[in-house]
Structure 1
Amino acid sequence: MLGKKLVTAQKRGETRALCLGLGMVACSMMMYFFIGITIVPFYTKSVWTTETMCKVLKANIKDKVFCPNSKGPEDEEIFPYPCLQVWVNLTASGQEVMLYQTEDTLERNPKCSYVPDKLENSKEVKARIEIIASNFKKYQTFPCYYDPGGTQTNVILSRLYPAKGLLFAFLWPTLMFTGGCLIIVLVKISQYVSVLSAWQ
Structure 2
Amino acid sequence: MLGKKLVTAQKRGETRALCLGLGMVACSVMMYFFIGITIMPSYMNSIWTKETTCKLLKADIKDKVQCSFNNGEGDEKNFQYPCLEVLVDLNFSGQEVMLYHTEETQERNPKCSYIPQNLKNDKEVKTLIETAAENFRKHQTFPCYYDPERRQTSVILIRLYPPKGLYFAFLWPSLMLTGGVLIIIMVKVSQYVSVLSAWQYKTNI
How far did 1:36 drift? 0.3
Please tell me whether the aligned partners of residues 52 and 92 of structure 1 are also in contact (alpha carbons under 8 angstroms): no
Counterpart position of 2:124: 124
Counterpart position of 2:183: 183
How far did 1:111 drift? 0.9
Judged with a 3 Å threshold, the aligned counterparts in structure 2 of structure 1 residues 8 and 164 are, in CA distance, closer, same or farther, namely: same
Equivalent positions of 1:30-179 (< 5 A) are: 30-63=30-63, 64-68=65-69, 70=71, 77-91=77-91, 93-179=93-179
Alignment partners' CA distance in 1, 2:23 and 2:14? 14
- Structure 2's unaligned 5+ residue stretches are 201-205
Which deviates more, 103-112 or 89-98? 89-98
How far did 1:77 drift? 4.4
Counterpart of 1:193 in 2: which secondary structure?
A: helix
Q: Percent identity?
A: 72
Please tell me whether the aligned partners of residues 67 and 83 of structure 2 are also in contact (alpha carbons under 8 angstroms): no
| TM-score using structure 1 length | 0.93
Report Cα offsets for 1:137-187 as digits up to 9, x if no partner.
111000000000110111000011111111111111111101100100000
Please tell me whether the aligned partners of residues 70 and 109 of structure 2 are also in contact (alpha carbons under 8 angstroms): no
Counterpart of 1:58 in 2: which secondary structure?
A: strand
* Equivalent AA in structure 2 for residue 44 of structure 1: M
Counterpart position of 2:24: 24
How far did 1:67 drift? 3.8
Alignment partners' CA distance in 1, 2:47 and 2:93? 16
Please tell me whether the aligned partners of residues 69 and 79 of structure 1 are also in contact (alpha carbons under 8 angstroms): no
Please tell me whether the aligned partners of residues 72 and 108 of structure 2 are also in contact (alpha carbons under 8 angstroms): no
- Structure 1's unaligned 5+ residue stretches are none
| TM-score using structure 2 length | 0.91
How far did 1:5 drift? 1.1
Alignment partners' CA distance in 1, 2:66 and 2:168? 37
Please tell me whether the aligned partners of residues 67 and 80 of structure 1 are also in contact (alpha carbons under 8 angstroms): no
Report Cα offsets for 1:98-118 as digits up to 9, x if no partner.
100001000001111011223
Which deviates more, 35-44 or 6-15? 6-15
Count of paired positions = 198
Query: Which aligned runs of 4 or more in structure 1 are off by greater than 2 angstroms?
Result: 63-72, 76-80, 118-121
Alignment partners' CA distance in 2, 1:86 and 1:43? 24
How far did 1:61 drift? 1.1
Report Cα offsets for 1:114-149 as digits up to 9, x if no partner.
112234321121121111111111110000000001
How far did 1:94 drift? 4.1
